[in-house]
Amino acid sequence: MTHSRPNDAGLVEVVEGTGERPVLLLCDHAGHKVPEGIGHLGIDQAQLCRHIGWDIGAAEVTRGLAKRLGVGAILNHASRLLIDPNRRPLAPTSIPHVSDGCVVPGNGHLTRAEARRRFWAYFVPYHRAIARGIARFRAEGRVPVLVAVHSFTPEMDGERRPWHVGVLSRGDTRLSVPILAGLKAKDLRVGDNQPYSGLRDFGYTVTFHAQRTRLPHVMFEIRQDTLVTPEEADAWSGRLAGLLRPLLDDPALYRFYEGDNKIAAREIVSWRHASQALPLA
């Protein structure tokens, strides 16, 4: 069985797997907690609960997948508005002052000290947990698979996004190609590197922990209006688990990728050293 345990003041949730498969599920934007209170950001609760504060429904899908597959998961519950764990610490979008038209006063004119405090309080614990999870499998001589779960808003900057689900990949397509085919066979509108393109920018978490080290991986983006109820989230976890299970049962998958992973040096700045160079006033 799998079971969850919180750490780091409840901001990082670790779901323990059975250990049968060396697989780790990742949910960067599982929650919208702001330990200092939302006044710290200068926005109201309604804004925090929008997609700008977290990935709606992603946590439920991740836990459902973990349960169905018997694998471990790591979920981050600190709001992405404090500091986004899926952005390079040096990127302008790491601590956004404006997100989808919402001004976040608490993120404007940050001092270097505050930026570093958030980095160590809300960014590092999650990535440290991922690194430790990977290290445990590697200590056993096993190459783990990383599966990232995100959700996306049906409309962004006035543009409709028609895809029910997106599958992101770049270089290593051992998982993405058969999963794309399986999803399309279910009469879904499926985005191949849509609405976000892994070919251009995979996001920090998968790039750093999987692509950099050549671990097998895939990222899902599920449209949030298909995750409104617990039943809908459960249906998605069942759908994805059904596609993943036979792939994860193949021993040949658990090998380092030997092809061109197509990542640039700027994408893989180490989170262990980034706080020394946070370029904020």
Q: Which two tokens stand for residue 247?
A: 């792939």
CA–CA dist 66, 5 (Å, integer)? 14
Is the pLDDT assigned to residue 8 strictly greater than 60? no
Is the pLDDT assigned to residue 92 strictly greater than 60? yes
Q: Which two tokens stand for residue 149?
A: 């779960």
Confidence of residue 106 (pLDDT cuts 50, 70, 90): very high
Amino acid at position 16, single letter = E
What's residue 281's pLDDT? 39
Spell out where the chain has E strands: 3-7, 12-16, 23-27, 72-76, 98-99, 102-103, 145-152, 155-156, 159-160, 165-168, 190-192, 217-223
Helix (H, G, I), strand (E, B) or coil at 152: strand
Domains defined for the chain, CATH in brackets: 3-277 (3.40.630.40)
Least confident among 5-19, 93-107, 236-250, 267-281: 267-281
What's residue 201's pLDDT? 75
β-sheet bridge partners, residue 24: 72, 146
Residues 38-84 pLDDT 10s: 888 999 999 999 999 999 999 999 999 999 999 999 999 999 999 99
Amino acid at position 59, single letter = A
Q: What is the mean pLDDT of the chain?
A: 91
The model carries a pTM of: 0.92
